[in-house]
Structure 1
Amino acid sequence: MTAETTRTRAVDETAARAVVDNVGKAWADNNPDAFADAYTADGTMILSGDRFIQGREVIRAMAKQQFATAHKGTTLLQNVIDVRPVGEAGAVVITDGGVLAPGETAPHPDREIRATWVLEKQDGNWLIAAYQNTRNADGRLPGA
């Protein structure tokens, strides 16, 4: 691997982590616009179970509704556990974490998730092309 490749991968990892951090900040601020603007125009979300959301404006509407109701006052814990460049304009990020209720420092086991983020660089900006999360509880064996 050349020094240039190593430097580019480091920049990509920094940029990828910034996308995750910005989504967390938008969530903490209950800012549906900043949250949705992190996605490509045709970005997708697959949330635990079978909830499929497609398109930045649909994501914006969903975030607006959720930040006003179920997720009002919550924050996200998103620990980046892996970042891998994909070509010159893509990256895959894996995170562990979940939704934190006010006062929590760790998510309740029912709200622990692992997520996959597929990022795409468009016009110099890193955006989320696809996001999918799975509740850790969904993968636990009964009695575990």
Structure 2
Amino acid sequence: MEDIKQVVRDSDKFQNDPDGFADLLTEDANLVNIAGRRLRGRENIRATYRKAMATPLGQIQTSIEIHDAWLVLPDTAVVAATKHVSDERDGENAAVPEQGAVTFVLTKQSGTWLIASVQTTPIK
């Protein structure tokens, strides 16, 4: 399970690095962020993150707290975590929730664990 959790920790480490983050994804990855925006496909996610990092959204910092990880099949895992959000932007911006429940689905492809899906739901 440690290798699976490491991929999730790496996704947190690369939160402001669109290429590093995208390299952790399957080609057809599905992502729903804390604001409810759905993105599909590694290259679409990479491009969207590049654009976001060039705006004040790049000043939002997050950290992931992993609660549990388990295999649902030999090559498929689920990781349950909490995303803690720190909004460092100045000025008038839409409020971002301080925490989100986040679920990762990972799949093993050619011996490497990759994120196939990640869903973040705001915690009120």
Is the contact between residue 24 and residue 75 of structure 1 (CA under 8 Å) also seen in structure 2? no
Structure showing greater relative contact order (alpha-carbon pairs closer than 8 Å, 6 or more residues apart): 2
Gaps of 5+ in 1: 1-12, 103-107, 138-144
Q: TM-score, normalised by structure 2?
A: 0.85
Deviation at 1:89, TM superposition (A): 0.6
Percent identity, aligned pairs only, is 32
- Aligned residue for 1:64? 50
- Aligned residue for 2:40? 54
Q: In the aligned structure 1, how far is the partner of 2:18 from the partner of 2:82?
A: 22
Which letter maps to 2:4? A
Deviation at 1:114, TM superposition (A): 0.5
Is the contact between residue 85 and residue 97 of structure 2 (CA under 8 Å) also seen in structure 1? no
Greater C-alpha Rg = 1
The size of the alignment, in residue pairs, is: 118
Structure having the higher strand fraction is 2
What RMSD over aligned residues (CA atoms) do the two structures have, in Å? 1.8
Which letter maps to 2:119? Q
- Aligned residue for 1:15? 3
Q: In the aligned structure 2, how far is the partner of 1:37 from the partner of 1:123?
A: 14
Q: Deviations over 1:33-60 (max 9, x none)?
A: 0111111000001224542110000100
Q: Which among 35, 40, 65 is matched to residue 21 of structure 2?
A: 35
Gaps of 5+ in 2: 89-94
